Structure 1
């Protein structure tokens, strides 16, 4: 049974950078499958059934969606060094959820001002730039996005608050990094690396840049290039891992074994349809079959996702 970690990602994806750094923090070996940054993504969808956000973690025929769940999987895979230290188990998760949502979207609104967009698209052809813009517009269809004028004071305030934390410690909550550091880092990384023309927002928070350098120094672990077709072959030749005996938590009146859809609450709201195998306190698992990938289990966190009975 394949137990290799296969990450489906692309270099400029901020959420992929979050996971790449977690892999480096834990010094885990992993295989890198580079995927398109825009739809269509036929090889990704063969595994997920519809989910198209980046990154996706594959272990054999098990497909894990959303970085919050991926971090949990990696913590279970290698508990030390800990992403969720016992004395920070609650606060680190709450901070990470804020960073992955409020901080991330505030930073993106800042980044997508005209100077930032020009830097981001500088190396793209006009056609590729237009395709990227249209793709993200479709992903944002159910979202209210901040304007740059509204995001600017919020982003500066958040950076000052982060600076106050890392002026006292090497990392956000102490001498060692935890999940909060990786969740906060990736949005700021995009500003600094992908839209450097607007990175002057860091001018008055040098402690934040020093903290970012410490996080970046953790590296990306032991990576090996892998093809999308080879990853699909791995799934087709594997059996999904046995499910643990987690308690079924029914909040919807939908029985296990039902055909359901799971959809992100916002941003990239493509649905994945399959048979509901698990609805635990923290996650959902769907079984689905694809002509190329075979039978796979697709896993989602409960927080941030909507479960519905499939139309029949």
Structure 2
């Protein structure tokens, strides 16, 4: 599907300042796809999100009818299948691109975030916001990252300084994109943590001496967001899910689970909210559970296999 239509069945649930949502908006732009927008709350409670995802609270997620796709790694695969060209995974670069994207979405992101969220960065990011909003945000994010090791400001600064040197070295030969002449998922994945840093006021000075990297960031930003075909609210998106039929999925044998098992899927790193349901899809790359919601009806929630723990549901 191209972005020429006035409407689209692709619905992105996101908010403007989310780094991973920025990555997804750029993926949609790179593919030239039209999409509809649902703005979700930055912090809990998120009742409309829960109705669709069963408790997955990370931003963004992609809705196509009654199918909910979680995690930008999986969203990238869904968009690639929807619109194979231009490819996020050029054949000659696919392995490198996936590996660099995985590093960017984990190590780089969890370095850039605490770096940007030092006092000067927080002041810029929340300029004009009431103190109670900032306090609520900090409490929400503390709960999301409970149990994770956290970099201090000085540690994050030291690591990010080195990471920027590494990335600049990749561009030192004049190539336009990180892996050469072709744009890939690596570019969009590395970009979004650095985009967040640029929003953090004086903290963005860490990028000042990296002229080639800043020029590369400008090229990524110029990709744009595709066609915003319209805006929906959470209730409208839920109604669309209720009126749709989920896609057909298959559980591959020999992976430790069987179709119909009651299972939970839980992120391994942060926001470890388990989503429970009936296993209806499983292969080495993806897991899908079906759940029945009072508001959304029968929905399927899809997760990438990497980074998520799949377990048999325990009963009290």
2:194 aligned with 1:204: no
Structure 2 residue aligned with 1:42, among 24, 47, 57?
47
Give the deviation of 1:175 after TM superposition: 2.0
CA distance in 2, matches of 1:145, 1:77: 37
**Partner residue in 1 for 2:92:** 87
Distance 1:166 1:238 in 2: 46
Is residue 124 of structure 2 the alignment partner of residue 119 of structure 1? Answer: yes
Q: Which residue of 2 aligns with 1:98?
A: 103
The equivalent of 1:258 in structure 2 is: 261
Q: Is the 8 A contact 1:249 1:280 kept in 2?
A: no
Contact 2:8–2:34 (CA under 8 A) maintained in structure 1: no
With normalisation by structure 1, the TM-score equals 0.96
Offset, 1:134: 0.3
**Which of 234, 239, 254 in structure 1 is aligned with 2:245?**
239
1:86 counterpart SS class: coil
Counterparts in 2 of 1:126 and 1:210: CA distance versus 1, 3 Å: same
CA distance in 1, matches of 2:166, 2:24: 24
Matches within 5 A, 1:88-167: 88-167=93-172
Task: Answer yes or no: is the 8 Å Cα contact 1:3–1:59 preserved in 2.
Answer: no
How large is the RMSD of aligned CA atoms in angstroms?
Answer: 1.3
List gaps (5 residues or longer) in structure 1. Answer: none
Corresponding residue number in structure 1 for 2:3: none
- C-alpha displacement of 1:164: 1.6
Partners of 1:123 and 1:22 in 2: how far apart? 31
How far off is 1:246 after superposition? Answer: 6.3
Q: Distance in 1 between matches of 2:146 and 2:113?
A: 16
The CA distance in 1 between the partners of 2:275 and 2:8, in whole Å, is: 24
1:311 matched residue in structure 2: 314
What is the aligned length?
307
Aligned to 1:267: 270
- Separation in 2, partners of 1:239, 1:306: 26
The offset of 1:112, in angstroms, is: 1.4
CA distance in 1, matches of 2:254, 2:127: 49
Aligned counterparts of 2:127 and 2:202: Cα–Cα separation in 1 = 11
Counterpart-to-counterpart distance in 2, 1:249 and 1:57: 29
Question: Deviations 1:133-157 (Å, cap 9, x if unpaired)?
Answer: 0000000102001111111121011
1:62/1:240 contact within 8 Å kept: yes
Residues 190-222 of structure 1: per-residue CA shift (max 9 Å, x gap): 0102x1220000011111111000000000000
Q: Secondary structure at 1:84's aligned position in 2? A: coil
Give 3-state SS (helix, strand or coil) of 2:93's partner. Answer: helix
- Flag as ranges the 4+ runs of structure 1 deviating above 6 A: none
Match of 2:190 among 158, 163, 184: 184
Alpha-carbon deviation of 1:3? 6.8
* In structure 2, C-alpha distance between the alignment counterparts of 1:289 and 1:246, rounded to whole Å: 19
